[in-house]
Amino acid sequence: MLLTRRELPVLIVNLIYIPVFTIIALRELNFEFLLYIGVVLVVGALVVWKQRKVRFDLTILWGLTIWGLLHMAGGNIQVGDDVLYGLQLIPVVLRYDQLVHTFGFGTATLVCYHLLQPYLREGIDRWRTLSVLIVFMGCGLGAINEIIEFIAVKTIKDTHVGGYDNTLWDLIFNLIGGVFAVGWLTVRKQRRRRRGARQ
């Protein structure tokens, strides 16, 4: 079986929101987000196909699901004259777009760490070095995301991607997300060590 019983709710949420936002994008002729839906479907299919071997934990699976949902909502739900992605959540400091980048590439950093673990030698504890490397890996995935957005801008009329300024803010918030992910992993490692010491 590809997915366990605990993982099935994650699949069900994806099977609900992806068709809903596909219909919305088709109705609005939002070709930019039809491209992104294709990317989400490819990534989702890869995760399901590899899950038996890779065994992403529920934190990562829910993180990827929520990221996809936030992304689809961001480009398809109208808020005033703009889409949700343009909504300013905290004046000057934070837009919805930046929140999604922080969350999404924080999750991507967790994915990188999970995929890297089988290749790490046992008994070597260089967490500081490793944490910097996995943040860079998450940022690298963020750069690929910007390339996909660049392709959308060059091939599709009237995208909501934004200009050079937007790209740099995206990269900054990708980095912030990666740093948050490493902070979360550090806390989790310390808790496991304490638990191990007590046993």
- The domain spans of the chain are 8-192
pLDDT of residue 1: 61
pLDDT of residue 148: 87
User: What is the spatial distance between Cα 86 and Cα 120, in angstroms, rounded to a whole number?
Assistant: 41
Ranges of the chain whose pLDDT falls below 70: 1, 122-124, 160, 199
pLDDT of residue 123: 63
Q: Residue 50 contacts by C-beta under 8 Å, 6 or more apart in sequence? A: none
User: What is the spatial distance between Cα 146 and Cα 127, in angstroms, rounded to a whole number?
Assistant: 28
* Bridge pairing between strands 82-83 and 94-95: unpaired
User: What is the spatial distance between Cα 116 and Cα 171, in angstroms, rounded to a whole number?
Assistant: 22
What is the torsion angle, in degrees rounded to the nearest 10, for the CA atoms of residue 61, residue 66, residue 68 and residue 73? 170
pLDDT of residue 160: 67
CB 194 within 8 A of CB 185: no
Question: Which pair of tokens denotes residue 183?
Answer: 């902070």
User: What is the spatial distance between Cα 77 and Cα 93, in angstroms, rounded to a whole number?
Assistant: 22
Which of 110, 92, 101 is closest to 173 using CA atoms? 101
